[in-house]
Amino acid sequence: MENAIIITLCVLLIISYLFDLTFIKTKIPSVILLLFLGWLVKQITTLLRIQIPDLSPALPILGTVGLILIVLEGSLELKLEASKAKMILSSFLGALLPVVLLIFLLAYLMSTVFGYDFWDSVLSSIPLCVISSAIAIPSVRNFPPTQKEFVIYESSFSDIIGVLIFNFFVVNRSIGIPALIEVSLQFVIMFLVSVVATFSLATLLRRIEHHVKFVPVVLLIVLIYAISKFFHLPALVFILIFGLILSNIEDFKHIKFLQRFCTFEIQSEVKKFMDLIAEGTFLVRSLFFLLFGYFIETSELVNIVTLPWALAIVLLIFLLRAVQLKILRLPLQPLLFVAPRGLITILLFLSIEPTRLVPFVNKSLVIQIIILTSLILMFGSMITKTETIEEKEVVNESI
């Protein structure tokens, strides 16, 4: 039995790697193929009556670790430059406004049409409104640099904002000044903790002389994230700040105060660290979507009751995205199509207490929205032409 499990896992992960390799040619997001592959494994095990232990507890753990690694991988690729301040602001607003607007619009419709409690509707709407960096970031690897950076920032901000709003409404059933002050204070605390922890870990990365030096740093990153989550702090802020500072560490060496405590000559270590994170991200992301696909029931996928609602919500998502891009004066193609739902959607959905989850937002609706937004991303990738130098320059000027 052990050998069969090992062989199966290895084969599935190799197939996942092939999906990743062929994305440039097929333009099919690997998440669709991984979900299908996981679903196919479930059908085979059911047909052959193979007993599989309960793997559901592993899903949120893989999802959390995957989210950490994906945001970290994306932030490690970003460069902080004064010329990019406008783009960072645009991506932040592009993440904030559609998420907030869509949450309250869906909540209003749920409470009005179905008579659900408004604040429970708000909480249940959040998973459907957040762009998944787990799908968006890997899908834009061949985009022009400026568009790629915009998507990395936007999807990372979307994850952070979504988690912040979600945590807020888990403990609050209304919006008031005391609650907003508390959230602002949490954000400030997390920012300060992130800066101190980041420079400490960067120094540790340079000073460890043992041949195993990256794994302890990764474990400390996950530990800080988990402790921050335990105290209801915006833990993804730490991941984003850590990646940004580490990838731009040389820009801080002129600060005399930091010179007394930190080491800045770590470019070679950072490169190796980035490679390790990329490998780990692929592994965890693949396992998560394979496992989630395994838990998908065919009846949930083809549920004709929720399908019209899923189509309507997806249409609303992309209408708002078109307006957002127009307001920010960004090119519609291919950015319009990059609004997938995925890992963060599943994580938040699984985190809602059953007593507060409105019946309208069920597993069928979530799965269908994930599949539909991924199919639209695939369609957008297929119709996007190879960029010329002139096209890239136009994009840079617009941003």
Residues 111-133: tens digit of each pLDDT: 999 999 999 999 999 999 999 88
pLDDT of 260 over the 90 cut:
no
Closest by alpha carbon to 33, among 247, 285, 388, 364? 285
What average pLDDT does this structure show over 212-224?
A: 91
Pick the CATH number of 2-398 from 3.10.129.10, 1.20.1250.20, 1.20.1530.20, 1.10.10.10: 1.20.1530.20
What average pLDDT does this structure show over 183-203?
A: 88
- pLDDT of 131: 92
Residues 91-109: tens digit of each pLDDT: 888 889 999 999 999 999 9
pLDDT of 202 over the 70 cut:
yes
pLDDT of 256 over the 70 cut:
no
> Amino acid identity, residue 99?
V
Reported confidence tier of residue 4, pLDDT bands at 50, 70, 90: confident
Pairwise pLDDT comparison (213 vs 131), residue with the higher score:
131
What average pLDDT does this structure show over 75-93?
A: 81
pLDDT of 375 over the 60 cut:
yes
Residues 293-330: tens digit of each pLDDT: 998 888 888 899 999 999 999 999 999 999 999 988 88
- pLDDT of 376: 92
Ramachandran assignment for 30, one of left (phi > 0), alpha (psi -120 to 50 degrees), beta (any other): alpha
pLDDT of 389 over the 50 cut:
no
Residues 34-45: tens digit of each pLDDT: 999 999 999 998
pLDDT of 1 over the 70 cut:
no
Residues 266-278: tens digit of each pLDDT: 777 888 888 999 8
Find the angle CA(332)-CA(338)-CA(344) to the nearest 5 degrees. Answer: 150
- pLDDT of 393: 42
CA distances from 397 to 43, 79, 128, 390 (A): 51, 18, 32, 11
